[in-house]
Amino acid sequence: MSETYEQYKVDLDGTLGGPEELFPNLKKVKVEAQPLPLEPGYVRQGYDVADFDPVSGCGSSNVDGTLSKFMIVRDDGIVKAPSNLPWEEAACLPVAGGSAWNALFHGPTPVKPGDFVLTEGTGGLSTFAIQIASAAGASVISTSSSDDKLEVAKRLGATYTINYAKHPKWSEKVLEFTGNRGVDHVVDVIGLPTAAEAVRSLRTGGQVTFIGFLGGQAPPPDLVNTLLAGGKTARGMLAASKPMIEELVRAVEMNNIHPQIGQVFDWNEARKAYAALASGSVVGKVVIRI
């Protein structure tokens, strides 16, 4: 079995023009307005593929390099950017935005108006989750150890906030805010250190989606009894598929959502950008301008 890939060089440096300048020799893909090469992240096996063909996302775990001025991408590896976003904001969508979208709308119980959603921290994924869930008509409870960061969460759409440095057992505050009911969804990016509180925060039949492990290693909590007795669901996931990114793009346009960018670095400041990201001090996304 052999595969053939067509290769296109996309210049990502400087001010970009319309489709003619971006893809002068591109014949297979129909482009309209201003497309932006966005990596779709991951594609679920057997989802939107024919006969389980092998697929991979540009920038996913088995493809090297997105911090590049030139990239070779498959013709099905690009997604049209939202018309309402500048380049720096559009660059935030594929991983952080797509992961938030997947967590909120592609689990067993998608978010609906009137739901309660709990988000942890104020990084790129969590701030996206606040904005998206709020736009969907949900009430958002946001946690952080910083009151200043929680003020940003409120501005983005959080209805309630909890400083977990002041309230280590923050599930008690969640129950207080929800009339002792619990939330419908938890978007957990911390992992083991917060897993028990996340599950305790859920209503009967609620869902927690574990996306990251920013909290590092910790003794694994015994969650089986809590999940079983409450009919609760724990879901693990990584990133998003191309169709999910396309759904997100439409939602961003319809609701005029602008990603929260904490800091933008120039190309020659890439090391500083990674240091800022690792510090945990930035609220929202860290962007490197190419």
Residue ranges in the chain modelled with pLDDT below 50: 1-47, 51-57
Furthest-apart CA atoms within the chain: distance in Å: 60
Give the pLDDT of residue 103.
95
Are 163 and 82 contained in the same domain? no
Are 92 and 18 contained in the same domain? yes
Q: Looking up tokens 């493809």, which residue turns up?
A: 63
Q: Which of 40, 63, 96 is the last residue of a domain?
A: 96
Q: How far apart are CA 193 and CA 215, in angstroms?
A: 6
Residue 130 lies in a domain: yes
Residue 66 lies in a domain: yes
Are 209 and 125 contained in the same domain? yes
130, exposed or middle or buried, with CB in 10 Å at 0-12, 13-18, 19+?
A: buried
Give the pLDDT of residue 60.
58
Question: Looking at residue 114, what DSSP letter applies?
Answer: T
Question: Looking at residue 84, what DSSP letter applies?
Answer: T
Q: How far apart are CA 192 and CA 207, in angstroms?
A: 16
Which CATH number fits the domain that encloses residue 175? 3.40.50.720
Residue 274 lies in a domain: no
Are 120 and 75 contained in the same domain? no
Give the pLDDT of residue 3.
42
Residue 241 lies in a domain: no
SS3 136: coil
Tokens of 6: 């067509």
Give the pLDDT of residue 158.
97
Tokens of 64: 């090297």
Give the pLDDT of residue 32.
45
Are 132 and 205 contained in the same domain? yes
Residue 149 one-letter amino acid: K
Give the pLDDT of residue 99.
93
**pTM for the full model?**
0.79
Residue 258 lies in a domain: no
Number of domains in the chain: 2
Q: Which domain holds residue 220?
A: 107-236
Give the pLDDT of residue 154.
97
Residue 162 lies in a domain: yes
Tokens of 274: 């990674």
